[in-house]
A and B are shown apart, each in its own frame.
Chain A
Amino acid sequence: MVPGLVVITMAVVAMIFLSPSVTRNRGGKILAFFPLFVLPVIAGSLGGWRHLERSKETQFCLSCHVMSEHGKSLQVDDSNFLAASHFQNHRVPPEKACYTCHTDYGMYGDLAAKWRGLRHVYVQYLGSVPPPAEIKLYRSYNNRECLYCHEGARTFEEGVSHNLEPTTLPAIKSNEMSCLASGCHEQVHETETLKDQKMWRRGQK
């Protein structure tokens, strides 16, 4: 739809470009308002929205070579691998797997994610790209991102390990005890171990 609108807009703008004399009178000036203002603004806005939506896709994130190992880690045949088990069991939308876990569920989460994305592109093309195993988060993972889905869920609220101590669940919810660094869900991507892992393929048993 958006490319079609862009092509139509280009055709109308081309008419103005080829014969600007149609805008000579007042009626022509008003007529030119659509191809030179309304249509480009609509086409540009829809194009921007389309780009933003597509930038949330797993394929988009994995299109950079440096992310290929993280992409492979989604296929590990081991339910202890957090990213793989979420991806394979559709606990996150597979087509937006990276974005779902790595955006902030705060007020400006989308904006912050895009800002970090620009930084990634800068490092990819102008900086020095670290090996996949050395890629780290800018700051420790916030439980808020896990709780966005898991808070209130029975398996989370009543889980045995989450209720061993009366202080555990409140500590998790307040981000004092990390879901990832507490010895519970610590295997996430583990790209350095991938060569030793069995991989899962959809449709194979």
Chain B
Amino acid sequence: MIERKLRFAAALILAGLLVQLITLLGNHPLAFLAFIFLGSPLIFAGVVIYLYSLVSGEGTNPNHDS
């Protein structure tokens, strides 16, 4: 379950970073807006999901803990 969450978080962060990369190629108000309203929320959501997966305890499995 935690792996699915991590994968989802990574996908959101990847999408956000991709948007950020594309917007950095152009110097236009729309690029700025895409970064603010699309790229940043995607990265933020990915980070929050990652942090939530850590504290939610779903991955706490003593058998896997080395």
Do A and B truly interact?
Answer: yes
A residues with a Cβ closer than 8 A to B are 2-3, 6-7, 9-10, 13-14, 16-17, 20-21, 23-27, 29, 32, 35-37, 40-41, 43-44, 47-48, 50-51, 54-55, 57, 59-60, 63-64, 117-118, 120-121, 124
Q: When chains A and B are docked, how far (Å) is the Cα of A16 from the Cα of B32?
A: 28
Chain B residues within an 8 Å CB radius of A43: 17, 20, 43
**Chain B: which residue is nearest A2 at the CB level?**
B24
Most buried by A among B13, B29, B54, B65: B13
Total B residues in contact with A, Cβ cutoff 8 Å? 40
Question: A6-B21, A24-B3, A59-B27 are contacts. A36–B50 as well, Cβ < 8 Å?
Answer: yes
Contact B27 A44 (CB under 8 A): no
Contact B35 A21 (CB under 8 A): no
Within 8 A of A (CB), among B32-66: 32-33, 35-36, 39-40, 43-44, 46-47, 50-51, 54, 59, 64-66
Can you list 17 A-B pairs, Cβ within 8 angstroms, ordered by A? A13-B14, A14-B14, A16-B7, A20-B3, A20-B7, A21-B3, A23-B59, A35-B10, A36-B6, A36-B47, A37-B47, A41-B43, A44-B43, A47-B39, A50-B24, A55-B32, A124-B29
Task: Tell me whether chain B's interface is mostly helix, strand or loop, or mixed.
Answer: helix
Q: When chains A and B are docked, how far (Å) is the Cα of A57 from the Cα of B26?
A: 13
Chain A residues within an 8 Å CB radius of B46: 36, 40
The 7 closest A-B pairs by CB, nearest first: A17-B10, A20-B3, A36-B50, A16-B10, A20-B6, A47-B20, A25-B66
Chain A residues within an 8 Å CB radius of B35: 47-48, 51
Most buried by B among A35, A40, A43, A50: A40
Q: When chains A and B are docked, how far (Å) is the Cα of A44 from the Cα of B64?
A: 33
**Chain A: which residue is nearest B25 at the CB level?**
A3
Contact B32 A10 (CB under 8 A): no
Q: When chains A and B are docked, how far (Å) is the Cα of A36 from the Cα of B11?
A: 10
Shortest beta-carbon distance from A135 to chain B in Å? 16
Shortest beta-carbon distance from A43 to chain B in Å? 6
